[in-house]
């Protein structure tokens, strides 16, 4: 593996430390920091063509994701950037951007060259590179078939870098605007005199309410306080500053108040490929109560939270975080040494319980998420979490 | 008179070729029982191209189509698998474009392409095993049904990384579950054979249900050995994940609405249909059933882990 320049190393270390210290309060900040760091990595380390760059980024991926779950924003951004590199490569070679996302489809199975391709460096990875446009795909026996398969090997640093940097800049401005774009849909979802329930604090949801209130929509918000972190209190303070009527409710009262609620609006930590969520602990209870009363559950999720992973069984080690139990029992307490306290941060909510996902563009059913995910990321990069698991062993 | 004579000889020749095709198919089925039916069908079609004396492409494609009809009506193998394998293969042939009009060269190209296609499909089981590995964790208790080569390959691969136990249904009427259990034991996976009737009883102990499929239809549902639907309903009721492992060559362009809607040649053996002589088949036992997509959690395929709704997407992308 190529060595990285010292200041890139320092940058990566700082990024990892920032994540450990929870410096990024908003998820968009984390997303932007990740892109910033990748810009530095791409701009300052040594690589001569696109496939070298892809190998380099893939080798750093699990290091960047240290201490984070497998469905993290860092991984999503990494995958998205890898996809951008692949797309730019195809664009440079073929002059247009078509047929680049067909690598893992039935079509590719039927493609004769896919089977004989020798592109991949890993032996156990059979997902062949398959980037040529469809018209060429169905032609047989091109003399230079290996060259076409190995599109990334051909794209030199001089041609790739400027275009890629343009795309990255565009990508980060897209993320900056994502919450704004998302919140502008508020009037379509929040109607007059509705009673809306939310859980804890979420910047995205706050902006969503803020936009609706700024357009003089009258509505009432119930907020579950989200013990033991009590971020719901912050949400209540922020919303009442905007003159939105607010009621704070304890988490345990979720079922009791559900019958009165018109709809539920929550944020999420990540959105999985099957349409399920990993969200704040307590969301599963909320979703089950909502199902019982058939209250619609809307989830605000900007595009960078879409993750191509499936959570097989909710594995608390890979997919959850356990912060300090200080909030529940103070360190001075005499019981501290004799008690075990577990504070899981997240819940998995299966897709059956979710009504609608409000993305940056428009609302989508959970069953449609796999489609968005397959457009956002390249299937070859879905194995990042496997690499992370292996690095832990 | 002369005209009649030629008809008879061409008929005889057709019969001869048909016999050869069927012989080749049954030959592989007997000699290599571990090869899946769809792959056997594809190999038979390649053999048809090999033997063909067709002078034009359209004649060749007519011969292939009649071979497909032969395989789907004259053999007793699982019809949905044969159908999907043949359809994909024909689609693959029609996608071919040639630089030459010389029939022999074209035929050579087709055979080459066919072999590549075959090679690719043969590697799909290994790929499925790799993709699905993370879903089988230590201590899992897995329920499976009947005999499935994909499931067997998947579990064999998973047993290298984790320890788990398997319940296999006996799977009447052919008791194919017994063979499944034997082969699992041979690999060293602890397995227990249960009665078909005790599926609901066992379900509360089970962590996940894992099935093969004879065909995956456009809705994302599956056609599989009779009894699969029962298990799916029980799993759904008890909130157990219901996974399906299937190679992508089993995707078939067909949209059944319910179980009555399945065509007879899917549900019964060709010999049963021939015996009934067009009469009512209601008293016969169906051999497969249709499980709607609502009961399926995920499908493990060689083109990735898919939700049922992704299946129709893949089929549309292919046949559009």
Confidence of residue A17 (pLDDT cuts 50, 70, 90): confident
Task: Please tell me what DSSP assigns to residue B173.
Answer: T
- Do A195 and A141 sit in the same domain of this protein? no
pLDDT (average), residues B107-115: 81
Q: Domain check: are A156 and A219 in the same one?
A: no
B310 and B276 belong to one structural domain: yes
Q: Is A308 found in the same domain as A209?
A: yes
How many domains does chain A contain in total? 2
pLDDT in tens, B185-229: 999 999 999 999 999 999 999 999 999 999 999 999 999 999 999
Highest mean pLDDT among A48-62, A143-157, B229-243, B245-259: B229-243
Lowest model confidence (mean pLDDT) among A52-61, A103-112, A258-267, B284-293:
A103-112
C-beta neighbour count of A139 within 10 angstroms: 16
CA torsion sign, B247 to B253 to B259 to B260? negative
Q: What is the pLDDT of residues A319-377, one digit of tens each?
A: 778 888 887 888 787 777 788 888 888 888 989 999 999 988 778 899 888 888 888 88
Residues of A in contact with B116 (CB under 8 A): 112, 115-116
**Could you report the per-residue pLDDT of A80-125, keeping only the tens digit for each?**
999 999 888 888 887 654 444 444 455 555 554 333 333 333 333 3
Are residues A2 and A108 both part of a single domain? yes
Instruction: Let me know whether A219 and A153 are in one domain.
Output: no
CA triple A236-A238-A244, angle to 5 deg: 70
Of A151, A176, A201, the one marking the end of a domain is: A176
Q: Are residues A103 and A200 in the same domain?
A: no
CB-closest option in B91, B97, B241 to A110: B91
Domain count, chain B: 2
ipTM: 0.74
Residues B192 and B256 in one domain: yes
**Domain end position, chosen among A144, A176, A208:** A176
- Please check whether residue B2 lies inside any domain of the structure: no
Which tens digits make up the pLDDT trace of A266-303?
999 999 988 999 999 999 999 999 999 999 999 999 99
pLDDT value of position B273:
79
Judge whether residue A127 has pLDDT over 50.
no
Q: CA separation (Å) from B41 to A5, A109, B86, B125, B259? A: 56, 17, 7, 17, 25
pLDDT of residue A143 exceeding 50, the answer is no
Size of interface A-B (CB pairs under 8 A): 89
Domain span at B59 = 10-126
In this prediction, residue B231 carries a pLDDT of 96
How many angstroms away from the CA of B172 is the closest CA of chain A? Answer: 31
Q: Which of A140, A371, A379 sits opposite B96 (nearest CB)?
A: A140
CATH of the domain at B271: 3.40.50.10470
For B64-98, what is each residue's pLDDT tens digit? 888 888 887 777 777 788 888 888 888 777 666 66
pLDDT in tens, B135-188: 888 889 999 999 998 999 999 999 998 899 999 999 988 899 999 999 999 999
pLDDT confidence of residue A327: 79
Q: Which domain holds residue A1?
A: 1-176
The predicted pLDDT at position A312 comes to 66
Contact flag B317-A313 (C-beta cutoff 8 Å): no
* Confidence (pLDDT) at B114: 81
* Dihedral (Cα; B133, B135, B138, B144), 10-degree rounding: -90
* Domain final position from B69, B92, B126: B126
Last residue of a domain, one of B71, B102, B126: B126
Chain A: residue nearest B111 by CA?
A112
Among A149-158, A173-182, B255-264, name the one with the lowest average pLDDT.
A149-158
Q: What percent of chain B shows pLDDT beyond 90? A: 36
Q: How far apart are CA A106 and CA B88, in angstroms?
A: 9
Q: Which residue has the higher pLDDT, A191 or B50?
A: A191
> Do A35 and A107 belong together in one domain?
yes
pLDDT at B13 over 60: yes
pLDDT at B1: 43
Tell me, what CATH number does B77's domain have?
A: 1.20.120.1070
CB contacts of B310 in chain A (<8 Å) are 370-371, 374
Neighbouring C-beta atoms of residue B55, cutoff 10 Å: 9
- For residue B274 the two structure tokens come to 């021939």
Torsion of CA A273, A274, A279, A282, to 10 degrees: -170
Of the residues A141, A160, A176, the one at which a domain ends: A176
Whether B73 is in a domain gets the answer yes
Q: Give the pLDDT score at B292.
A: 95
Token pair 């699992």: residue = B184
Using CA atoms, how far residue A349 sits from A313, A344, A368, in Å, is 11, 14, 16
Identify all chain B residues contacting A139, using CB atoms and an 8 Å cutoff. Answer: 97
A367 inside 8 A of chain B by CB: yes
Q: Which of residues 78-117 of B touch A (CB under 8 A)?
A: 88, 91-92, 95-98, 109, 112-113, 116-117
Single residue among B78, B93, B126 that ends a domain in this structure: B126
Same domain for A212 and A161: no
Supply A334's token pair: 């005499």
Q: Are residues A56 and A141 in the same domain?
A: yes
CB atoms within 10 A of CB B178: 14
Q: Look at residue B42 in the predicted model and tell me its pLDDT.
A: 85
Task: Give the E-state strand segments of B132-217 in sequence order.
Answer: 140-144, 164-169, 191-194, 208-211, 215-216
Average pLDDT over residues B299-317: 86
Same domain, A169 and A250: no
**A154 and A190 fall within a common domain:** no
Minimal-distance CA residue of chain B relative to A318 = B134
Please count the CA atoms within 13 angstroms of the CA of B207 that sit on its side-chain side.
Answer: 14
- Answer yes or no: are the C-beta atoms of A184 and A168 closer than 8 Å: no
**Inside any domain, residue B88:** yes
pLDDT of residue A190 exceeding 70, the answer is: yes
Q: How far apart are CA B232 and CA B244, in angstroms?
A: 11
pLDDT value at position A11?
86
We report the CATH number of the domain holding residue A356 as: 3.40.50.10470
A137 with A227, same domain: the answer is: no
HEC string for chain A: CCCCCHHHHHHHHHHHHHHHCCCCCCHHHHHHHHHHHHHHHHHHCCCCEHHHHHHHHHHHHHHHCCCCCCCCHHHHHHHHHHHHHHHHHHHHHHCCCCCCCCCCCHHHHHCHHHHHCCCCCCCCCCCCCCCCCHHHHCECCCCCHHHHHCHHHHCEHHHHHHHHHHHHHHHHHHHHHHHHHHHCCHHHHCCCCEEEEEECCCHHHHHHHHHHHHCCCCEEEEEECCCCCCHHHHHHHHHHHCCCCEEEECHHHHHHHHCCCCEEEEECCEECCCCCEEEECCHHHHHHHHHHCCCCEEEECCHHHECCCCCCCCCHHHHCCCCCHHHCCCCCCCCHHHCCCCCCCEEEECHHHCCEEECCCCEECHHHHHHHHHHHCCHHHHHHHHHHHHHHC
Please, what is the end-to-end C-alpha distance for chain B in angstroms? 49
């Amino acid at each position: 593996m190529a060595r990285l320049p010292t200041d890139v190393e320092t940058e990566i270390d700082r990024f990892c430390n920032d994540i450990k210290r929870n410096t990024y309060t908003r998820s968009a900040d984390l997303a932007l920091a990740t892109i910033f760091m990748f810009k530095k990595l791409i701009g300052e380390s040594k690589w001569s063509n696109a496939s070298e760059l892809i190998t380099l980024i893939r080798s750093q991926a699990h290091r960047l994701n240290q201490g984070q779950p497998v469905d993290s924003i860092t991984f999503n951004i990494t995958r998205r950037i890898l996809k951008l590199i692949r797309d730019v490569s195809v664009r440079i070679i073929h002059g247009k951007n078509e047929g680049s996302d067909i690598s893992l489809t039935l079509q590719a199975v039927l493609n004769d060259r896919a089977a004989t391709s020798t592109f991949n460096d890993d032996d156990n990875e059979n997902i062949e590179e398959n980037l040529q446009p469809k018209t060429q795909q169905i032609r047989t026996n091109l003399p230079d078939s290996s060259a076409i398969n190995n599109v990334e090997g051909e794209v030199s640093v001089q041609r790739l870098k400027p275009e890629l940097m343009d795309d990255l800049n565009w990508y980060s401005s897209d993320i900056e605007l994502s919450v704004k774009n998302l919140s502008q849909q508020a009037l379509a979802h929040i109607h007059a005199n509705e009673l809306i329930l939310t859980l804890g604090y979420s910047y995205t949801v706050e902006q969503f309410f803020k936009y609706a209130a700024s357009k003089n929509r009258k509505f009432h918000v119930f907020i579950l306080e989200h013990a033991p972190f009590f971020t719901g209190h912050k949400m209540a303070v922020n919303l009442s500053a905007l003159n939105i009527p607010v009621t704070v409710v304890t988490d345990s009262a979720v079922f009791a108040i559900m019958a009165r609620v018109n709809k539920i609006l929550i944020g999420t930590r990540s959105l999985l490929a099957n349409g399920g969520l990993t969200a704040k602990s307590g969301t599963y209870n909320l979703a089950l109560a909502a199902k019982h009363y058939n209250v619609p559950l809307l989830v605000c999720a900007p595009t960078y939270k879409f993750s191509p992973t499936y959570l097989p069984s909710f594995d608390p080690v890979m997919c959850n975080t356990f912060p300090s139990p200080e909030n529940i029992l103070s360190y001075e307490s005499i019981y501290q040494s004799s008690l075990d306290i577990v504070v899981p941060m997240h819940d998995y909510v299966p897709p059956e319980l979710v009504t609608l996902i409000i993305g940056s563009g428009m609302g989508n059913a959970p069953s449609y998420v796999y489609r968005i995910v397959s457009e956002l990321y390249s299937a070859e990069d879905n194995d990042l979490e496997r690499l992370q698991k292996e690095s832990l062993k | 008179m002369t005209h009649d004579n030629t008809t008879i000889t061409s008929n005889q020749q057709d019969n001869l070729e048909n016999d050869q095709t069927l012989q080749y198919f049954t030959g592989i089925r007997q000699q290599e029982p571990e090869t899946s039916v769809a792959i056997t069908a594809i190999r038979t079609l390649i053999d048809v191209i090999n033997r063909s004396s067709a002078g034009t492409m359209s004649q060749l494609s007519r011969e292939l189509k009649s071979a497909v009809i032969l395989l789907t009506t004259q053999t007793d193998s699982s019809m949905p698998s044969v159908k999907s394998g043949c359809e994909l293969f024909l689609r693959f042939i029609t996608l071919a474009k040639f630089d030459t009009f010389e029939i022999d060269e074209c035929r050579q190209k087709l055979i080459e392409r066919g072999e590549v296609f075959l090679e690719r499909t043969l590697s799909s089981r290994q790929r499925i095993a790799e993709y699905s590995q993370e879903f089988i964790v230590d201590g899992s208790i897995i329920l499976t049904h009947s005999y499935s080569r994909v499931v067997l390959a998947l579990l064999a691969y998973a047993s290298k990384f984790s320890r788990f136990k398997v319940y296999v249904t006996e799977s009447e009427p052919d008791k194919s579950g017994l063979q499944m259990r034997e082969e699992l034991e041979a690999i060293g996976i602890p397995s227990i054979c249960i009665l078909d009737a005790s599926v609901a009883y066992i379900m509360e102990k089970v962590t996940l249900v894992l099935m093969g499929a004879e065909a995956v239809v456009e809705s994302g549902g599956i056609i599989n050995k009779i009894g699969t639907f029962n298990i799916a309903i029980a799993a759904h009721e008890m909130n157990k994940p219901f996974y399906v492992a299937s190679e992508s060559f089993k995707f078939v362009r067909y949209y059944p609405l319910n179980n009555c809607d399945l065509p007879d040649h899917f549900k019964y053996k060709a010999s049963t249909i021939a015996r009934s002589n067009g009469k009512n088949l209601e008293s016969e036992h169906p051999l497969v059933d249709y499980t709607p997509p609502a009961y399926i959690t995920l499908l493990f395929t060689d083109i990735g882990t898919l939700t049922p709704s992704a299946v129709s997407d893949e089929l549309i992308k292919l046949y559009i």
